[in-house]
């Protein structure tokens, strides 16, 4: 089973999101035993499309962020329960834009992940090194550190509760995707570390997605790699045609 996940970032109004899902509804549903399709819209668009019923039942929704608390006086925050009330099942935790632009700390991300898990949302924990860190030979140290702090004290019953996305920061939105050997190398390290941290079979069953400049032209080679369970896609997930192509590619692996 491969996953095709679209991270819309801060794009799409309610009208634009509705148009996207209407177009997706018009296409033949993919084989859901072959491909798991996820879209992470902004909160406003997600709530609206969930209520209007325009999302085809084979597309699952996720949020791009979540509060570290269940409820209370936290102006601007959105709780797991609110996200679930829109029918969403997943949430991104620690996307590099939140780590590096919003300055979210390892401790905050750990609290967000625990809060999401406790509510029954599936966290998609994003990890990845910057170019400076890679050049300094610190890729493994950085990724392991992000996994260690994010998953500290977390006990999972089965792998279905968590997904990890490897997104090298230097490949996000740059048009430069990681080379296949770099992806395999990082994914193997992540897999071994998850098994160490969480034990098996949990560690070996957590899907590991690749993200960073994925597009229809390079996706077949990436999603076909043995260590890759799918893609987390930004730019190419915004256009229905390109996203449909990515789904079709994953379905054929």
Residue whose CB is less far from ligand PGA, 113 or 246 = 246
Spatial contact of 130 and 140, defined as CB atoms under 8 Å apart: no
Spatial contact of 203 and 196, defined as CB atoms under 8 Å apart: yes
- Residue in 95, 110, 187, 193 annotated catalytic: 95
Radius of gyration of the chain (CA): 17
Q: List the helix and strand counts (H, then E) for the chain.
A: 11, 8
Sign of CA dihedral 164, 165, 166, 169: negative
Shortest reach from residue 40's CB to ligand PGA, in Å: 9
- Residue in 97, 104, 129, 167 annotated catalytic: 167
**Contact track, ligand PGA, 151-190, x by CB under 6 A:** ----------------x----xx-----------------
- Torsion angle (degrees, nearest 10) of CA 204, 94, 8, 23: 30
Determine, following the binding rule CB under 6 A, whether residue 62 of this chain makes contact with ligand PGA: no
Determine, following the binding rule CB under 6 A, whether residue 91 of this chain makes contact with ligand PGA: no
d(CA 131, CA 105): 20
**Whether 167 is catalytic:** yes
Determine, following the binding rule CB under 6 A, whether residue 131 of this chain makes contact with ligand PGA: no
Burial tier of 201 (Cβ tally within 10 Å: 0-12, 13-18, 19+): exposed
Determine, following the binding rule CB under 6 A, whether residue 80 of this chain makes contact with ligand PGA: no
Residue whose CB is less far from ligand PGA, 25 or 182 = 182
**Contact track, ligand PGA, 4-33, x by CB under 6 A:** ---x--------------------------
Shortest reach from residue 23's CB to ligand PGA, in Å: 20
**Whether 69 is catalytic:** no
Shortest reach from residue 131's CB to ligand PGA, in Å: 14
Residue whose CB is less far from ligand PGA, 116 or 198 = 116
Nearest to 194 by CA among 167, 226, 168, 158: 158
């Amino acid at each position: 089973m491969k996953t095709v996940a679209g991270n819309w970032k801060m794009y799409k109004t309610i009208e634009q999101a509705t148009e996207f899902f209407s177009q997706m509804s018009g296409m033949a549903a993919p084989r859901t035993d072959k491909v798991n399709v996820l879209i992470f819209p902004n909160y406003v668009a997600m709530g609206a499309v969930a209520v209007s019923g325009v999302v085809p039942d084979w597309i699952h929704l996720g949020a791009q962020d979540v509060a570290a608390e269940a409820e209370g006086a936290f102006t601007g925050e959105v709780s797991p329960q609110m996200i679930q009330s829109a029918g969403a099942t997943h949430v991104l935790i620690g996307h590099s834009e939140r780590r590096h632009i919003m300055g979210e700390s390892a401790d905050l991300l750990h609290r967000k992940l625990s809060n999401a898990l406790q509510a029954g949302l599936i966290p998609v924990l994003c990890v990845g090194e910057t170019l400076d860190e890679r050049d300094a030979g610190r890729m493994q140290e950085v990724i392991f550190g992000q996994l260690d702090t994010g998953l500290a004290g977390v006990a999972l019953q089965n792998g279905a509760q968590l997904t990890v996305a490897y997104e090298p920061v230097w490949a996000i939105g740059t048009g430069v995707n990681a080379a296949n050997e770099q992806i395999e190398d990082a994914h193997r390290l992540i897999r071994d570390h998850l098994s160490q941290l969480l034990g098996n079979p949990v560690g070996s069953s957590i899907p590991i997605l690749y993200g960073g400049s994925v597009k229809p032209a390079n996706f077949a080679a990436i999603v076909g790699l043995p260590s890759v369970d799918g893609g987390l896609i930004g730019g190419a997930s915004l256009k229905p045609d390109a996203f449909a192509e990515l789904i079709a590619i994953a379905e054929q692996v």
